[in-house]
Amino acid sequence: MQNADERNGINSGEGPARHEPPLGRVLSVRGSQAKVEFPAVSAFDLEEARVTVGKFVGITAGQSLLVGVVTDVALTTEVVEAGASFAAAAHLDIVGEIVDHDKPSARFRRGVTTYPAISDTAKPIGSRELGLVFDIAESDVLTVGTLHQDGTTGAFVSSNDMLNKHFAVLGSTGVGKSSAVALMLHELLRARQDLRIFMLDAHNEYGHCFGERAQVLSPRNLKLPFWMFNFEEIVDVFFGGRPGLQEEVDILAEVIPLAKAAYAQYRGPGERALVKRMEIKSGGSAVDNPVPYRIADLLAQLDARMGKLENRASRMVYHRLITRIETICNDQRYAFMFDNANVGGDTMAEVFSEIFRLPPRGVPMTVMQLAGFPSEVVDAVVSVLCRLAFDFALWSDGAAPLLVVCEEAHRYVAADRNSGFGPTRRSISRIAKEGRKYGVFLGVVTQRPAELDPTILSQCSTLFALRMTNDRDQAILRSAVSDAAANLLAFLPSLATGECLAFGEGVALPMRLRFRQLEPHQIPRSEMARGSGIDVENGLGHEFVTAVLDRWRGLSKQDGDPIPLAPRIAPEQPAAPAPAPARANLGLDPERFKLLKKSPAERP
């Protein structure tokens, strides 16, 4: 008869020895949960022989092997058999079964058809069984890492299920969230040759991660004509992100269709009609249609209306609006919108092709770096880009699949509906609710799930949760996952960097995984904070400060290189006053503004 050491697999005098995992037995069953008792383990037991929380256990039930995950382990209080060495009781959540587990045709399926009985044997399952459980039989599967329970078993994600029903990556700062996003996008580029990716990069972290597979757009090389903004978006730009004055907003609603009509009248002979006659006559939907018009025509309409007014207070409303528009148009920070604002031309096809990679030509991804845009216009830019992405998919019947990845999503679709920019919220929400019908998919990335609109999170059927310690964030996540997976959330605060819990349609079962390491040049890092190697004494001098100021003020050449404000001189020397810049000719008569100081009788 074996002694206790032999039963526990310990060869006395020889230290640790390899042995089969310990056998346990079922004590009780309740629904999809079971209580199993295992022998005590020693310090010399192998890792796969240790039964603890998070481990997978198999229960033999006829021709099936029931698979359960350990959610709780405690010292047992029941005596099953006199002299037995059982000492630990484990509570299991049964998640599925392996049919014909001892045959080559073994396969895993969710749900349970054969329930365990009292005293059925149980043991920790190995790599073969884990491979059957988490395998995804698809050609375009994503391999994102390995299982936490077994470093030799891959962690697989279904690209179709993850994309078609949207996904979210959640986690606190510094837990490997950006690296996880970059890894998944690399895998998507490898597995889905038909997919294009458009990423909203809030902190300019991802520009270098994808090499020649991605183009990087910023205010320096982006061309996004102002007339592609709808009415709410252009009003937000003109008023600097603040609510517009109602009088001025009403005037804009009247004159923008007239400016579009004016441009349509003298369009080139080869250009097609872009504004319907009925829209020109009545205003109609022309105020929101993305058809070209010129700023000069818009200002000319305002100027003509102002000239017909006799009340000085009314003229001042027009004067403020004209000044506001001119100021924005002459601000170099807005050159990506208003460059060639008076030239005209329908460049919408070229803009779409460049931003959304149509055709990809070997570069299927766009990284839109938002950190360089004026803060007051970022919301409007995000709104117009997301809206155009959805509208193009709608009118093209989903012919070109597109994934929109939104970093720092809580900025644009906050839980507080009174904060943020309404059109941005609607644009992203529309993708979340209807995008899958037209081939536009959404990837949400945020460090504060509690501050994200719950509607957006509820539309994401695959969740990747990295370490989170905030109680509110954990509560939001708990409400978004099924009851069967809720027990895994207890591990959230203790996850290591680069680990996550994956739930939902994109994975075979809720799992804890460790993301694969990226190559050093693929790891996201902010381009805004690369100060290592700078000579503090000699490298941060006057030239450095003036170069930063040039970039701040948006002064740049056509090729994007910064130019000086004035000839560089030493700080102690007096600088000659720079001549006032010539006012841009926007097609207005400067004498017209003198009418503001004249009475109606003095006007010509």
CB 448 within 8 A of CB 202: no
At residue 89, the 3 state secondary structure works out as strand
Q: Among 68-77, 113-122, 253-262, name the one with the lowest average pLDDT.
A: 68-77
Averaged over 24-38, what is the pLDDT?
A: 89
For 321-364, the pLDDT digits (tens) are: 999 999 999 998 999 999 887 777 888 899 999 999 999 999 99
Between 18 and 228, name the one with better pLDDT: 228
Say whether 160-220+347-522 and 4-134 share the same fold: no
- The yes-or-no verdict on residue 594 having pLDDT over 60 is no
Q: Edge-to-edge strand order for the sheet containing 154-158? A: 154-158, 141-147, 511-515, 499-504, 462-465, 167-170, 440-446, 402-406, 196-201, 365-369, 214-217
* Pairing of β 167-170 and β 462-465: parallel
Mean pLDDT across the stretch 80-98?
A: 75
- From CA 382, how far away is CA 191, in angstroms rounded? 27
d(CA 188, CA 43): 43
Chain position carrying tokens 């009415």: 231
The CATH-assigned architecture of domain 4-134 is Beta Barrel (2.40)
pLDDT at 270 over 80: no
| Mean pLDDT computed over every residue of the chain | 81
Strands (E), 407-545: 440-446, 462-465, 499-504, 511-515
pLDDT given at position 244: 82
455-498: per-residue pLDDT in tens? 999 999 999 999 998 899 988 888 888 766 677 888 899 999 99
CA geometry: angle 30, 32, 35, nearest 5 deg? 55
The two beta strands, 440-446 and 167-170, are parallel
- Cα separation, 406 vs 408, whole angstroms: 6
Q: CB under 8 Å to 534, separation ≥6 — which residues?
A: 540
Return the pLDDT at 78: 59
How distant, in Å, are the alpha carbons of 184, 230, 464, 534 from that of 515?
Answer: 9, 41, 11, 33
Query: Averaged over 301-309, what is the pLDDT?
Result: 88
Q: Which residues sit opposite 74 in a β-bridge?
A: 89
Res 570: pLDDT: 42
- CA–CA separation, 387 and 426 (whole Å): 8
Kindly tell me the sign of the dihedral angle through the C-alpha atoms of 270, 272, 274, 278.
positive
Contact between 122 and 37 (Cβ < 8 Å): no
pTM, two decimal places: 0.81
Q: What is the mean pLDDT of residues 558-563?
A: 42
**CA dist list (Å): 48 to 21, 51, 300, 474:** 7, 8, 78, 30
In the chain, the amino acid numbered 333 is: R
Contact between residue 76 and residue 37 where contact means Cβ atoms under 8 Å apart: yes
Q: pLDDT tens digit string along 168-187?
A: 999 999 999 999 999 999 99
CB atoms within 10 A of CB 300: 19
Highest-scoring range by mean pLDDT, 77-81, 442-446, 510-514 = 442-446
Q: What is the mean pLDDT of residues 294-315?
A: 88
135: nearest Cα among 476, 507, 478, 497? 507
Q: Tell me the torsion sign for CA atoms 263, 318, 603, 592.
A: negative
> Per-domain residue ranges for the chain?
4-134, 160-220+347-522, 226-340
Q: What is the pLDDT of residue 554?
A: 63
Q: What DSSP character marks residue 112?
A: -
pLDDT for res 252? 93
CATH of 160-220+347-522, one of 3.40.50.300, 3.40.1160.10, 1.20.140.10, 3.90.226.10: 3.40.50.300
User: Of 121-125, 225-229, 351-355, which gets the smallest average pLDDT?
Assistant: 121-125
CA–CA gap between residue 565 and residue 575 (Å, rounded): 11
- β-strand 167-170 against 511-515: which pairing, if any? unpaired
Share of the chain above pLDDT 90, in %: 48
Using 50, 70 and 90 to split pLDDT, how confident is the model at 192? very high
DSSP H helical ranges for 269-360: 277-282, 295-307, 312-330, 335-338, 348-355
pLDDT at 583 over 50: no
Summarize pLDDT for 147-168 with one digit per residue, the tens: 998 889 999 999 999 999 999 9
Phi, psi of 196 (to 5 degrees): -110, 150
> What is the spatial distance between Cα 73 and Cα 538, in angstroms, rounded to a whole number?
62
Contacts of 136 (CB under 8 A, 6+ apart): 156, 157, 158, 507, 508
Token pair in block for residue 127: 């790599």
Cβ distance 302 to 251 under 8 Å?
A: yes
**Residue appearing with tokens 């399926």:** 109
Is residue 405's pLDDT more than 70? yes
Amino acid at 113: T
Cα separation, 338 vs 336, whole angstroms: 6
What average pLDDT score do residues 412-422 get? 87
